[in-house]
Every structure is written in structure tokens, then in C-alpha cells.
């Protein structure tokens, strides 16, 4: 009877065990694949943007409208600064400097929230709406899509910050900080592309 059990175990019926790469962890791979899909979504909006500006040669922004380039520039500096403070927090954690880690996370979250507040305030005072012109639709589409990503990023940062104050993470266990951090850095880089294309060029 025992020999039959061993033989049954050796001849396992069913799918083989999942093959996991030793080079890329599942959490990191999942985030990278998600970011690739998000780049494609942004690409669709940028395609419409360049079609209007390059193919149709229409004025940007639309006649009678104006974009707050200076305010958006300050907001860009705020968001870029949040990437720096996040890197500082991650570096502090890897040195087991818990105060620096917690302080860096709090500052990063506050900078991100400030960016989002300024963007919403910009919408209130900009003077045109998405339905006014095709340019307005693309402007709100690109900046609004990015704003939604910032909001999601802030939720991730909030979770990490709460866990930081509860004593989670260490120099040996910090993947839960790095993966949301990759997403936040992606959001920052994408905004630089949006700001340069929409406000500057």
C-alpha cells in the first residue's frame, strides 16, 4: 500500500509547478508590465495630440486660450522634488535609519498632494473646458489621466507611510517600498513628458 502511494506521488497527474524566474520577482515584474500598459494608454492620447498639432497644424493651445506655463513649471519642480525625497526615504531605510525613512515618506506624500491640489486649482481657473475645443479635450485628457495616476500613487504612498509608522519594512525587507516607488518615479517621468509637450513646445 505504501509503495503504491509513493508511486502515485512520483507520477503526479496535473499541471507542473509554475516556473519562476530567479532574476525578476513577481511583484517587480507585475509592476513593470503594468507600467508598460500605462505607457500605451498615454501613447494613445499623445497620438491625438500630435495629430492635431503636426498633421492638422492647428494652433496650440486653441485661439483665445492660454496655458499657465509658469504655475505648471513650479508644479513640475514640486513633483520632481517628490522623487528626490522618495529616493532619500528608500536610502534611509536601507541604512536602517527609520526616522529618515518616515520623514522622507511624509514629505513625499505632502509634495504629491500639493501637486494634485495645484492641478485641480488650475482646472478651476484655466478658463476653458474639455468640450470647448479639440485642443481642450486633449489637454484635459492628458493632464487628467496623469492626475488620476498621481491620485493612485498617493494612495500607495499613504499605505507605505502608514506601515512605516507601524514599524514595517527594514534594510532586509523593503520590496513593499521599492515597488510603489517605481510607480511614483514613472508618474514623475511621465509628467515631465506631458509638461514639455503640452505646456512648453
What is the rounded CA–CA span in Å between residue 53 and residue 56?
6
In this prediction, residue 119 has a pLDDT band, given cuts at 50, 70 and 90, of very high
What nine digits make up the cell of 122?
A: 488650475
Please give the average per-residue pLDDT across 129-145, as a whole number. Answer: 93
Rg (CA), the chain: 23
In this prediction, residue 118 has a pLDDT band, given cuts at 50, 70 and 90, of very high
What is the rounded CA–CA span in Å between residue 121 and residue 7?
70
Upper half-sphere CA count for residue 122 (Cβ side, 13 Å): 22
What nine digits make up the cell of 72?
A: 505648471
What is the rounded CA–CA span in Å between residue 46 and residue 54?
11
Interacting residues of 106 by C-beta distance below 8 A, sequence separation 6+: 161
Q: What is the pLDDT of residues 46-104, one digit of tens each?
A: 999 999 988 888 899 998 899 999 999 999 999 999 999 999 999 999 999 999 999 99
Nearest CA to 198 out of 81, 83, 73, 91 is that of 73
What is the rounded CA–CA span in Å between residue 2 and residue 7?
9
Q: What is the pLDDT of residues 8-26, one digit of tens each?
A: 444 555 565 555 544 667 8
Model-level pTM? 0.83
pLDDT at position 9: 47
Q: Does residue 76 contact residue 192 with C-beta atoms inside 8 Å?
A: yes
DSSP codes, 122-182: HHHHSS--TTT-HHHHHHHHHHHHHHHHHHHHHHHHHHHHHHHHTT---SS--HHHHHHHH
User: Hey, how many other C-beta atoms are within 10 angstroms of the C-beta on 134?
Assistant: 15
What is the rounded CA–CA span in Å between residue 3 and residue 25?
38
Residue ranges and CATH numbers for the domains of the chain are: 24-200 (1.20.120.80)
pLDDT for residue 33 is more than 50: yes
What nine digits make up the cell of 183?
A: 510607480
In this prediction, residue 30 has a pLDDT band, given cuts at 50, 70 and 90, of confident
Amino acid at each position: 500500500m505504501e509503495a503504491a502511494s509513493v508511486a502515485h506521488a512520483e507520477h503526479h497527474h496535473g499541471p507542473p509547478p509554475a516556473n519562476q524566474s530567479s532574476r525578476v520577482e513577481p511583484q517587480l515584474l507585475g509592476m513593470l508590465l503594468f507600467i508598460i500598459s500605462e505607457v500605451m494608454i498615454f501613447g494613445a492620447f499623445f497620438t491625438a495630440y500630435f495629430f492635431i498639432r503636426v498633421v492638422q497644424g492647428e494652433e496650440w493651445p486653441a485661439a483665445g486660450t492660454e496655458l499657465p506655463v509658469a504655475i505648471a513649471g513650479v508644479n513640475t519642480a514640486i513633483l520632481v522634488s517628490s522623487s528626490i525625497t522618495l529616493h532619500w526615504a528608500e536610502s534611509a531605510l536601507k541604512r536602517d535609519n527609520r526616522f529618515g525613512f518616515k520623514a522622507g515618506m511624509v514629505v513625499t506624500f505632502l509634495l504629491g498632494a500639493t501637486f494634485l491640489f495645484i492641478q485641480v486649482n488650475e482646472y478651476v481657473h484655466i478658463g476653458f473646458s474639455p468640450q470647448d475645443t479639440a485642443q481642450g479635450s486633449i489637454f484635459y485628457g492628458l493632464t487628467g489621466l496623469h492626475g488620476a495616476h498621481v491620485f493612485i500613487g498617493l494612495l500607495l504612498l499613504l499605505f507605505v507611510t502608514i506601515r512605516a509608522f507601524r514599524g514595517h519594512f527594514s534594510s532586509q525587507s523593503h520590496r513593499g517600498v521599492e515597488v510603489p516607488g517605481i510607480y511614483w518615479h514613472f508618474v514623475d517621468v511621465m509628467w515631465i513628458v506631458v509638461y514639455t509637450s503640452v505646456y512648453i513646445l
